[in-house]
Structure 1
Amino acid sequence: MLRTRFTEVFGVEHPIVQGGMMWVGRAELVAAVANAGALGFITALTQPTPDDLTKEIARTRELTDKPFGVNLTILPSITPPPYEEYRQAIIDSGIKIVEIAGGNPATHLSHLKDHGIKVLHKCTSVKHALKAQQVGVDGVSIDGFECAGHPGENDIPGLILIPAAAKHLTIPMIASGGIADAQGLVAALALGADGVNMGTRFMCTQESGVAQKVKEQIVANSELDTKLIFRTLNNTARVADNAISRKVVEIEKSGGSFDDIRDLVSGQRGRKVFEEGDLDAGIWTTGQSQGLIHDIPTVADLVTRMIDEAEDIITGRLNEIVAAPVTARS
């Protein structure tokens, strides 16, 4: 049993989080994560309306009686979603844990805290983590450059970012980006984190609702099979290497504007990938951790394996290294 500040504050059994993923964070996956003793998040904006979110929360409760949360991601948009209405749906549904990503958590924090909701803020820099702590969030999830989705513009990998943040934070911190197994969990704890957030790894499980072809492609891919798009727009995103992402990169390199790639990167095209398995229908999000993924287990098997192997590493190999006598060099 791995007990950390995160498990104590957020009331879960294991220091493992399935963060919000567009088109992926639905009831079946979230409930499976909760039933395995980890913390899963429904992705609010995957649901077309706040009413649909209310129904998805209810559907998740039919599948688990354990804690789970809702992710609310706030990103620049041509037509912004009704964030306040989604927030109210979360409150009215009695959710007690919310993950906020993309924007300043202060905008929604007081409304959530007034209803006894614990807030985990997802960010990509020490600066933003400290600001989130200052405004009163209960924990932060900090993304290294290896992560899927938006890794920020500083290109700092987790090996540097996590201990740099841990040096200053007093609230629980979750390490995110490039983590898919027990070794990553133990490494994150050693770097000062209180747990880990995994997206790509949970996407490649049996309960994940994405198409089987997507899961099989993640298993087939290596850590080299991602592309960074939107670099020229200062909104970097890590996505799978496919015909569409390569085309987007080329357009950006040639000086193209967002209007030149707008259709290629539309969310509906990415949704088609996940739901229909057409791997070149659009851009789809995956992290460098796919190079560490070699199977498609159930969520329960994945979480149990990670915890068991992490305990073996800590009490076995690392303990042996500490206990081994130092041999003087001749």
Structure 2
Amino acid sequence: MLKDTDEFKDSTAKEFMPYGVGFITFWLDRQGPELLLSILRGEGDSSISHRPPAAVWFSFGDYRPYLKLIREHGAPGTRIIVQVQTVDEALAAQQDKVDVVVLQGTEAGGHGSQKAGPLINFIPEAKAALQNTLVSNPDAGLGMPALLAAGGISTAAQFKAAQALGADGVVIGTGFMPTFESPGPQRAKERLLQTSDGGLNTVKTRIFDELREFCWPEGFDGRVVRNVVTDREDEDHQRDHWRHEGEAAFKVLREDRTGTKQDWIKATAEQDYNILPLWSGTGVGLLKKQTSVAEFMDQLLDERA
């Protein structure tokens, strides 16, 4: 992680640039707190040594055991960012006095909660609940965290809509993926730009985690562009639903899953996104051409939209 940050710094400026780190929290649990401590202390063979991150972002899991470490070993200005998927989680983050709460809606690409709802409801309800806490508990020493909206946002109009709903800013993932500067494979970028009707042609699924044998906890899945694997999985679920419960039905599912896994291994070598997962939010259909990051940002911040 320090090496990647150092390479980014060298490619963009001679002076030190503030950097942030993000963690899948349940993965950090498996590594232990020493990893976070080493980053906060700037340890390692890197020219950013002794410079704590400007921000630390936690997603998916219980971040609370790490707050004390950051507040004791990070820089005084190190910001704590927490991604949540429900109003109750947003309220808990406020109680923990984090600086930024990211409201991740069901529209988001990549991994998220299976219980997440759409941003059009999530943003205003979460903001109202947080503000109500301040009004009803004026002596609790709580503040209003900055609210960022994440999920399916690719255009200036959507950015403004999120702000109108109560967000202070937005988090964008899929929108940057097809840019020239993105390190992703060109085939993946082309497939994203060919995808239309993102609400229909992306789907939330656990199948790719199962095929990769990557152990995400129950309750989480990932939104991807529909392909042969997700279509096959839909067929499996339909067949499993309508068949009688019994060994014969499960035998069919096991055989189909084995074939899918073999196809997936082959596709990895060939970069075949008819089979490989292409993580994407519902806003993918609004991406029409490959641009530079600068051009994408200009479009996103266009006041005329």
| Contact 1:240 1:285 survives alignment (8 Å) | yes
Letter of the 1:119 partner, please give it.
I
In structure 2, the partner of 1:141 is 102
Q: Which residue of 2 aligns with 1:171?
A: 145
Aligned pairs for 1:55-70 within 5 A: 55-64=3-12, 65-70=16-21
Percent identical residues: 27
How far residue 197 of structure 1 moved from its aligned partner, in angstroms, is: 0.4
Residue 175 (structure 2) pairs with residue 201 (structure 1)? yes
| Aligned AA (2:277) | I
1:290 paired to 2:298: no
Per-residue deviation, residues 237-260 of structure 1 (Å, max 9, x unmatched)? 211211122233444552769x95
The corresponding residue for 1:120 is 81
Maintained 8 Å contact 2:152/2:283: yes
Tell whether the 8 Å contact from 2:225 to 2:280 is kept in structure 1 after alignment.
Answer: yes
Question: Given the superposition, is the C-alpha separation of residues 213 and 190 from structure 1 closer, same or farther in structure 2, using an over 3 Å criterion?
Answer: same
Q: Whose radius of gyration is greater, 1 or 2?
A: 2
Are 2:104 and 2:116, in contact at CA under 8 Å, matched by a contact in 1? no
Change (3 A) 1:171 1:219: same
- Which digits, 9 at most, give the CA deviation of each residue in 1:192-233, with x for residues without a partner? 1000001110112111111111111111102121122139x5
Secondary structure of 2:22's aligned partner:
strand
In structure 1, give the amino acid aligned to 2:294.
A
1:184 aligns with 2:145: no
Match of 1:229 in 2: 205
CA distance in 2, matches of 1:88, 1:132: 22
Give, as a single letter, the amino acid of the residue that structure 1 aligns with 2:222.
A
Q: Does residue 159 of structure 1 match 2:92?
A: no
Whole-angstrom distance in 2 between the partners of 1:159 and 1:112: 33
TM-score (norm 2): 0.73
Q: Give the alignment partner of residue 91 of structure 1, picking from 35, 40, 51.
A: 40
How many residue pairs were aligned?
252
Looking at structure 2, the residues matched to 303 and 270 of structure 1 have their Cα atoms a distance apart, in angstroms, of 36
Distance 2:266 2:280 in 1: 12
**What amino acid is the match of 2:62?**
N
User: Partner of 2:228 in structure 1?
Assistant: 243
* 8 A contact 2:111–2:222 mirrored in 1: yes
Q: CA RMSD in A?
A: 3.0
The 5 A counterparts of 1:315-330 are none
Identify unmatched segments of 5+ residues in structure 1.
1-52, 314-330
Encode CA deviations 1:242-290: one digit per residue, 9 max, x unaligned: 1122233444552769x95699689x969948xx632134323111110
Q: Which amino acid aligns with 1:294?
A: K
Kept in 2: contact 1:270–1:283 (CA 8 A): no
Contact persistence 1:122–1:142 (CA under 8 A): yes
Q: Corresponding residue for 2:246? A: none
